[in-house]
Amino acid sequence: MSDITLTTAIALCIAAALAGWIDAVVGGGGLLLLPALLIGLPDLSPTYALGTNKAVAVTGTSIAAVTYTRRAPVDVRLALRLGALALTASAGGALFASAVEKRVLQPLIMVMLLAVATFVVLRPQFGTAHTDRVPSRRRTAAALLVVGLGIGFYDGILGPGTGTFLVIALAALLHMNMLNASATAKVVNVGTNLGALAVFTAHGTVLWQLAPFMAVFNMAGGWAGAHMALRRGSGFIRVVLLVVVTGLVARLAYDQWWT
């Protein structure tokens, strides 16, 4: 990729930093980073954009996960179990990514996101109040299936809004507040990114000439976003969640009907 101009490289690095901040707070950084790669490099194949996005995103989610687990109460054992399942499921999803008609799935994703936004708006206390309730074995098993396998597979095969879905699922199934859900989601998201990245790397669809530079900025954004979320708490994360969901729906609608 020797034809990348310095201006384009700088713009992509800034986009990576902003995406890292969004991902660290509530997920959804791909909403910014994937379009940035495709716009900045118009001749880039979508498969290369997906692979490069994973190579960049895994660094930001990793630094955010470490930051969260040091300062927020996270059930590390549960998070690692979910992450291990998500890694495997994401790799499986990535193998099928090129065979799926994304325009069929996008309307379904938009409906799901709109349902999430409606639920959060109508339930203002959802994910904001701390709870000491220990989830039942049934709920834990449901989380392993929905979060580890379901959302993990989705991240590999398509991806937009994975972090957002993780936060909502963890808060709903395991009675976590938004802060704990976001912290746990980062650990799981590391798994989904690694699983998909392994497949994209094996297929040679990662721009390693560019990804390391973007990754440094993504890590900085992830560090800053995690610290801000820890300082401001669940209420702040809830607001960012609604903004990101709105943006995801708008982006998917644009891709579906105006491109």
pLDDT at 26 over 80: no
Say how far apart CA 218 and CA 21 lie, in whole Å. Answer: 8
Buried b vs exposed e over 89-102: b needs ≥16 C-beta within 10 Å? bbbbbbeebeeeeb
Nearest alpha-carbon partner for 28 in 259, 253, 232, 251: 251
Host H or E run for residue 116: helix 102-122
3-state DSSP assignment of residue 101: coil
pLDDT of residue 125: 64
88 and 246 in contact (C-beta within 8 Å)? no
**249 in helix, strand or coil?**
helix
Give the phi and the psi of residue 175 in degrees, each rounded to 5: 60, 30
The alpha carbon dihedral of 85, 86, 89, 92 has a sign of: negative
Range of lowest pLDDT (127-136, 182-191, 250-259): 127-136
Note the pLDDT tens digit of each residue in 223-240: 999 999 889 887 787 788
List phi, psi (to 5°) of 177.
-80, 170
Of all residues in the chain, what percent carry a pLDDT higher than 90?
A: 39
Q: In angstroms, what CA-CA distances link 95 with 87, 88, 194, 199, 248?
A: 13, 11, 13, 7, 24
Q: Region 218-224: what's the mean pLDDT?
A: 95
How is 173-219 classified by DSSP, letter by letter?
HH---HHHHHHHHHHHHHHHHHHHHHHHHHTT---TTTHHHHHHHHH
Question: Which of the residue ranges 156-165, 170-179, 198-207 would you say has the lowest mean pLDDT?
Answer: 156-165
Per-residue pLDDT tens over the stretch 57-79: 999 999 999 998 888 778 888 99
| Mean predicted confidence (pLDDT) in 91-99 | 82
Domain boundaries, the chain: 6-257
